[in-house]
Amino acid sequence: MSSSPQNPRTLRFSLAAAGRVLYSSLPNGGRVTTIETDVLVIGSGLAGLMCALRLGRESGVFLASKSDLSESNTRYAQGGIACVISAEDSIESHVQDTLSTGGGLCREDVVRAIIGAGPAHVQALEALGISFKRRMEDEEAYDLGQEGGHSHRRVLHAGDITGQELIRVLLEEVGKIPAVTMRPHLMAIDLVTTGWLGLPGENRCLGAYFLDRDTGEILAVRARATVLATGGAGKVYLYTSNPDGATGDGMALAWRAGLPILNMEFVQFHPTCLYHPQAKSFLISEAVRGEGGRLINSAGESFIERADPRGSLAPRDIVARAIDHEMKTRGDPCVYLDITRKSVRFLKDRFPTLYKTCHQFGIDMAADPIPVVPAAHYFCGGVQAGIDGATAMPGLYAIGETACTGLHGANRLASNSLLEALVCSTRAAQTLLENPGASAPPRVAIPDWRPGDAVPSDEAVVVEHNWNEVRTCMWDYVGIVRTNKRLERALRRIQNIRREIKTYYHSYLVNADLLELRNIAAVAECIIRCAMQRQESRGLHYSLDAPTPDRLHPAHDTLLQDPPGGPVSAMDALERQGV
C-alpha cells in the first residue's frame, strides 16, 4: 500500500532523507507505518550518536530514541573517559589495571584493542569540538582525574559535566547530516526477525517495532542493519544512579529474540550516591575520592581500610561492599564522604555541578561530610558482541552498555565504559560501511500490529505496583551481597511477576510504562539466572554461600540463551499477534 499524503506524520517521514514510508498507520494496532532505512540505530547516548555520526556521511540512518534525544546515561557521566595521554602513563599499565579489576574474566584481546585505540578516538572527539579540561597552572597539560583501580591519573574530563558535553556536541554534529533522521519519543518494542516471520534460512534481523509515545501508534522500521545502543538497566534496582530510561530494553529485546546474553550477574554498584530524601539518583563522582575524599562512618571513623589497604581508592565493588557491611553492622542508613580538606575555590572549580547540587540540598562540601549510599550503576554483562558490535544474529549489532564485549570481565574499571562506547560505535560504523551489501535483508513486509482484544488500561496501578515489586525484590535479594536462598526466592517472585505482566500485556494496549516493566522484569530474571549459574564469588558477584573464586575450574562467563518462543523467552509480541 502506498503512503497516505493526508497523514501529516507520513508526510513528515517521507521528507526525511533516511526513511521511506511504505504504509500508513492506525493508533496502537492495525496497519503499521513501515519506515525503510539503511541502518536503524536505537538509542541516542554516546554509542548511538557516535555510530550515527560515523555512518551518516555515507549511509542513510534512522536513529530512534525513546525519550528526548539528549536523555541517556551518557548525559550524567561526571568522571570522564579513561585514556592514556600522559607521558608518565602507558597503554600496558591501563591494560593491566583493567585486567586486574576484571577478576580474571576480561578478554585480553578486546582489552588491548579498546585501550590501544583510546588516544586516537579521544583526539577525534577533540576534533569534533569536545574540550577536555587543562590544568589551572599549565594550559598545555590535561587535568587528568584519578579513579579507583587506576594506577595513574588518566581520566579526561570536562569538569563534572563530561557526559553532557559529549551529548551536546554529538547532537549538534549529527544534526548537521541530512542522511540521518533523528526521532525522539520512539520506543523500540521488539525486534523483527526472519525466524519470527517463519522464513527459511538463517535467522536474521529485519528491524523493529516501535511505540510512538506522542501518539500511541505502532510503527515498524525495516533496515539492512539494526544497532542496539540502548544503554544499561539500573532501574531494575530500587536505588540507582541511572536516569528513568535505563530499563535494559536492548538486553530484553535481544533475549526475547533468542540472542546469547552474558554475565548479567555483574552489576556494578556505585559506592556513593547522594543520600537525601529529595535527591533522585544523584551520583557523587568517584573523582571526589580521587581528589582526597575519605569515606567515614557516622562516628567519623575511616573503615574501608579494614577491607582493602587502598582505602577509599580501592575498586568500586570492594568499596560498595564495605559500605554495605558498615551500614548493616551499625544499623546506619548511610555513610559519609569527607572532602572538607579541600578549599571552596578548588571544589567549585573541579566539581561545579556537584558543589551546586549539594548546596541546593543544604550540604556545603567544603564544610560538611556528604551523606552517601551505594546504588546500582553499571551493567558489565549484556548482549554478546564483538568490538564492532556484531552479534550472533546477522543484521543485528549491539554497542555501548547494552553489549558485553569482554572488556570489563567481572568488574568494570572506572571510566572505561565511555571509552568502550566510543571505540565500539566507531568500529560498528566502519564494519557496516565496509560491507554495505553483505547482509541485505529479504524484501518481506513487516506484519501489521494486531492488538487482539486489547483495550486501554484502566488499571495503571497494577503496572506501578509491579514496577516497585521488581525493584524492591532485586534490591533486597539480588543486591551487593547474595545467597543461594535469596536468589531462589527472587527467581520465584520475578517469574510470578513476569506471568502477571504477560497477562496484562495481552489484555491492554501497550504504553511506555508497561513496556519498560516488561523489560526490567526480563532483565531481572536474566540477572538472577546468571547469578545462580555462578557458584563462586568473583568481581561484582559476591555470594555468602561461596565467598571466594572457584580455583578448581577455569574462570568462565555465564551464558543465557533461550530459543525465541522457548519457555522463558516466549516472545509475548508474537503470541499477542497470534503468530
C-alpha cell at 382: 549484556
Interface characters, 353-392, with ligand FAD (x: CB under 6 A): -------------------------x--------------
Q: Where are the beta strands (DSSP E) in 123-243?
A: 155-156, 180-183, 186-193, 205-212, 218-228
Query: Can residue 466 be called a binding residue for ligand FAD (CB under 6 A)?
Result: no
Residues 52 to 71: which contact ligand FAD by CB under 6 A?
64-67, 71
Query: What residue type is assigned to position 1 of the chain?
Result: M
- Residues near ligand FAD (CB under 6 A), total: 43
241 binding ligand FAD? (CB under 6 A): yes
* DSSP 8-state assignment for residue 106: S
Smallest gap, in angstroms, from Cβ of residue 190 to ligand FAD? 10
Dmax over Cα atoms in the chain, in whole Å? 72
Treating both helix axes as pointing N-terminal to C-terminal, what angle do 108-128 and 162-175 enclose, rounded to 10 degrees?
70
| Ranges within 391-420 binding ligand FAD (CB under 6 A) | 400-402, 415-418
Query: Any bridge partners for residue 228, and if so which?
Result: 42, 398
Q: DSSP 3-state assignment of 283?
A: strand
Site string for ligand FAD, 12-51 (x = CB under 6 A): ------------------------------xxxxxxx---
Q: How far is Cα 69 from Cα 168, in angstroms, rounded to an integer? A: 10
If the CB atoms of residues 381 and 537 are measured against ligand FAD, the closer one turns out to be: 381
Q: For the window 260-299, what string marks contact with ligand FAD as x by the rule CB under 6 A?
A: -----------------------x----------------
Burial track 442-464 (b if 16+ CB lie within 10 A, e otherwise)? eeeebbbbebeebeebeeeebbe
Give the whole-angstrom CA distance, residue 193 versus residue 444.
Answer: 11
- Does residue 77 belong to the site contacting ligand FAD (CB under 6 A)? yes
Least Å distance between CB 192 and ligand FAD? 14
Strands 396-398 and 218-228 come out as: parallel
Q: Name the minimum Å distance from CB 81 to ligand FAD.
A: 6
According to DSSP, the residues that pair with 267 across neighbouring strands are 379
Q: Between residues 76 and 303, which has the closer beta carbon with respect to ligand FAD?
A: 76
Residue tagged active-site, from 54, 107, 224, 316: 316
The one-letter code for the residue type at 367 is A
Closer Cβ to ligand FAD, 233 or 295, answer by number: 233
The DSSP secondary structure of 475-517, one letter per residue, reads HHHSSSSB-HHHHHHHHHHHHHHHHHHHHHHHHB---HHHHHH
Stretch near ligand FAD under the rule CB under 6 A, chosen from 191-199, 240-248, 328-336, 492-500? 240-248
Nearer to ligand FAD, 352 or 442 (CB): 352
Q: Are 50 and 174 in contact (CB under 8 A)?
A: no
Please confirm, yes or no, whether 551 is among the known catalytic residues. Answer: no
Q: Which is nearer to ligand FAD, 261 or 490 (CB)?
A: 261
User: Binding mask 124-163 vs ligand FAD (x if CB under 6 A, - otherwise)?
Assistant: --------------------------------------xx
SS3 content of the chain, % helix, strand, coil (to 5): 35, 20, 45
Q: How far is the CB of 229 from ligand FAD (least distance, A)?
A: 5
Three-state secondary structure call for residue 107: coil
> How far is it, in rounded angstroms, from Cα 230 to Cα 227?
9
Find the shortest distance in angstroms from Cβ 391 to ligand FAD.
15
Q: Which of residues 174-233 bind ligand FAD (CB under 6 A)?
A: 187-188, 229-232
Three-state secondary structure readout of 306-328: HCCCCHHHCCHHHHHHHHHHHHH
Binding positions for ligand FAD, rule: CB under 6 A: 42-48, 64-67, 71-74, 76-81, 162-163, 187-188, 229-232, 241-242, 245, 249, 283, 378, 400-402, 415-418, 421
What is the set of active-site residues? 316
